[in-house]
Chain A
Amino acid sequence: MSTQQQEQPETQEAPKDPEMKGQQSPQQERLDKKEQGLAEAESVDESDVEGESVHLKVFRYDPEVSGKQEPRFDEFHVPFEKGMTVLDALIFARDEFDSSLTFRHSCRQAICGSDAFFINGSQQLGCKTQISDLQQPVRVEPLPHQEVVKDLVVDMDHFYDQMHAVEPYFQQEDLPEGDLEEQRQPRENREKVKMSTRCIWCGACMSSCNIAAGDNQYLGPAAINKAYKFAMDEREDEEIKEHRLRILEQEHGVWRCQTQFSCTEVCPKDIPLTEHIQELKREAVKKNLKFW
């Protein structure tokens, strides 16, 4: 404050100098001062958080480069920013330190399902996990129980195969009369399947599932949840629901689930997967119960 007051007379003198030699215009001077102040403020900020850098331990593996075929952990120290997510830190590490660091990411707002990693021992979305919530060093690994293509990228083909195996599409054949009639879903029914529609196909549940790890044919929580969405949809006829339950009650269907709740714990969209699987188990039993 005091320096500002001292300099004020100077700025008033400045216009008297017609050629402005050696003198800046008052506006320029003010801008300079502002910039200086901003720079100072920034440098203060930086020195404040200088101690706060994120210690990342990232899994590295590249089968195509002979020197990188042995899996290893690379360590990165990324400057911490308020609100920084694991994905932000990884992007910083890739952009600033090692451009060969490979991982999938797209929307950065937990809806594309590309960046599920094994962070500090649990399957989480990189973009949804705050660094400040994690213990350092932050260990980032590819999803377990899936083949690693490179670094943090895993092969999702098997997961997608399982997702498609439950026929995840609307199969109602009898359409309502009239050209412009819509197939309406009652509000209550929509509410019932609401959570199951939130799946983003990130594969975190499948990776966390102990049973899916040991049984490659098991449909997995995500696929069963997908089937739940359609099986519980009242717009489909009873025969179609029975067809869906026939797929699900196979040996490697719903009965493989042993209610460990691992999938429900890790689901980034908070889908009650175990609940849905259990409900389908009950539906499957009901379908087969005969009292005569």
Chain B
Amino acid sequence: MSQSYNRGLIEDFGRWKEFSAGMWAWIFHKFTGWMLIGYLFTHIAVLSTAIGAADGQMMMLAGEEVNVYTGTIQGLESLFIIRVLEVGLLAVAVFHILNGVRLLMVDLGIGLDSQDKSFYASLILTGVITVASVPTFLQGVGF
């Protein structure tokens, strides 16, 4: 709503310390949603550079000649930062799924009284799954 003067940080995210569970769930859901869309486009862009593999196009990777698809994937997977980003992608996707289920429940009017608890539960579950996935994702690079 319109303001006739500046009330400082009262009106915006300066209030983040006072946000309730439902508000955090909303912010995280938006954030993870945008991250997934970003990943989707990156995914399409990366794979479209490797499409030449179908015509037998080759490239050099670590002194070996491999086809473009294998080279692109293996080249990316050998980078530590990509492995870390994969862990991040999993965390983002898991939270989005779990909170999505929570929102579905809210839409159906089930368990609205414990909406904050289900948010905390989805956060904890996301954390657990993410931590458990680290050894798998960092195999051969960090571990």
Residues of A participating in the B interface, judged by any CB pair closer than 8 Å: 61, 63, 69, 71, 118, 121-122, 141, 144-148, 158, 210, 213, 216, 258-262, 264-265, 272, 274-275, 278-279, 281-282
B108 neighbours in A (Cβ, 8 Å): 282
B112 within 8 A of A: yes
A-B contact count (CB 8 A): 74
Question: Which residues of A are found within 8 Å of B106, using beta-carbon distances?
Answer: 259, 274, 278
Q: A213-B11, A279-B109 are in contact. Are A145 and B1 (CB under 8 A)?
A: yes
- The answer to the question of B21 belonging to the interface, with a C-beta cut-off of 8 Å to chain A, is yes
| Chain B residues whose C-beta falls within 8 Å of the C-beta of A69 in the assembled complex | 5
Secondary structure of the B contact surface, majority rule: helix
Q: Is B3 an interface position by the 8 A CB rule?
A: yes
Instruction: Select B4's contact among A141, A148, A265, beta carbons within 8 Å.
Output: A148
Interface residues of B, Cβ cutoff 8 Å to A: 1-8, 10-11, 15, 17-18, 20-23, 25-26, 103, 106-109, 112, 115-116
CB distance from A203 to the nearest CB of B (A): 11
CA distance A142 to B1 in the complex (A): 14
**Known contacts A147-B1, A210-B26, A261-B20; 19 further A-B pairs (Cβ under 8 A):** A71-B5, A118-B10, A122-B18, A141-B7, A144-B11, A145-B1, A210-B23, A258-B26, A259-B26, A259-B103, A260-B26, A261-B21, A261-B22, A264-B22, A274-B115, A275-B112, A278-B107, A278-B109, A279-B109
